[in-house]
Amino acid sequence: MDWKFWLQAFLAGVAALYTVLTYHRGGRTVSQGRPAMKRPFVSIGILLLLTWAAIGFDYYDRHNGETGSSVQMLGVIQMWGVLPGNRAFVDIDTRSFTSVAKDHYLALGILVVDGQVDRLLDRTVEKSSPFFINGDRMSIEMIPSVTFLARLGSAGMVEYFLLLVPKNITLDQILSLSDVGVLGGRLLATGGARWSAKQNSQ
């Protein structure tokens, strides 16, 4: 969990604690025969707005920022799709990554598109083997698991992601796409392709 989660939790906790303390303070004032103090709705409202602002920023950052989200890299991703035998592939130009080749590698991640699940938190993402940056054009291929194909069904949309991962991080440490940014890597969203499992298996 990153700092944005803890910021949300802190603000929500402060708002709840402030509300409870204010309520009981007002109750004691009435019981002692003094006029009840006005509830500081403005202060509570500001705290709640800050909490929701932190939640909104977290959502935006995970979907649009460089860390833990997708980054458009025009000219890097040249083609993606599925080959016979249900092999997912992506053709890329790695010349843009030569400056980080010493400390990073590339991998392909794929997901069955599911509108009910946040793609960055979906733990059904499948990853290829690591591919080292050679400073030239290259193709990354992977064969998804039987479980992936069963989830896909007879046909469905598959989303592709190019992962730029630090060499001190293994792909086993990446349980969902949100982990990539948290662990110091980057995500490159490539788009989607429609798969027909039966047709592609031929």
Q: Is the sign of the CA dihedral 187, 120, 145, 192 positive or negative?
A: negative
Residue of 85 and 129 predicted with greater confidence: 129
Of residues 72 and 98, which shows the higher confidence score? 98
Among 201, 202, 180, 196, CA closest to 62:
180
Q: Which one has a higher pLDDT value, 55 or 120?
A: 120
Would 72 be classed as within a structural domain?
Answer: no
Both 86 and 144 in one domain: the answer is yes
Statement to judge: residues 60 and 101 lie in one domain: no
Contact predicate 109/163, CB 8 Å: yes
| pLDDT, greater one: 92 or 52 | 92
Q: Does residue 25 lie in a domain region?
A: yes
Residues in the chain, total: 202
Among 43, 64, 85, the domain-final residue is 64
Do 81 and 161 lie in one domain? The reply is: yes
| 181 part of a folded domain | yes
Q: Write the pLDDT tens digit of every residue in 56-80.
A: 655 544 444 332 333 344 467 778 8
> Is 69 domain-assigned?
no
Residues 97 and 58 in one domain: no
Contacts of 116 by beta carbon, 8 Å cutoff, 6+ apart? none
Specify whether 125 is located in the same domain as 42.
no
Same domain, 42 and 90: no
In-domain check, residue 42: yes
Reported as a single tens digit per residue, the pLDDT across 25-49 is 555 544 555 554 455 556 666 766 7
Residues 124 and 195 in one domain: yes
**Domain-located, residue 172:** yes
* Encoded amino acid at 76, one letter: V
The answer, yes or no, to whether residue 152 has pLDDT greater than 60, is yes
20 lies in which domain range?
Answer: 3-64
Return the closest-CA partner of residue 196 out of 144, 151, 154: 154
Q: What is the pLDDT of residues 113-148, one digit of tens each?
A: 888 889 899 999 999 999 999 888 899 999 999 999
User: Do 58 and 87 have their domain in common?
Assistant: no
Q: Which of 61, 77, 75 is nearest to 190 (CA)?
A: 77
Task: Write down the pLDDT at residue 144.
Answer: 94
Query: Comparing C-alpha atoms, which of 68, 49, 48 is closest to residue 58?
Result: 68
Q: Are residues 86 and 56 in the same domain?
A: no
Q: Please state the domain count of the chain.
A: 2
Provide the percentage of residues in the chain whose pLDDT is more than 70. 59
Of the listed ranges 16-25, 31-40, 52-61, 86-95, the least confidently predicted one is 31-40
User: Within this chain, do residues 92 and 152 fall inside the same structural domain, yes or no?
Assistant: yes
Contact call for residues 82 and 140 (beta carbons, < 8 A): no
Ranges of beta strands (E only) in 27-184 are 77-83, 87-93, 104-112, 126-127, 131-132, 137-142, 155-166
Virtual CA dihedral for 174, 192, 195, 164, nearest 10 degrees?
A: -30
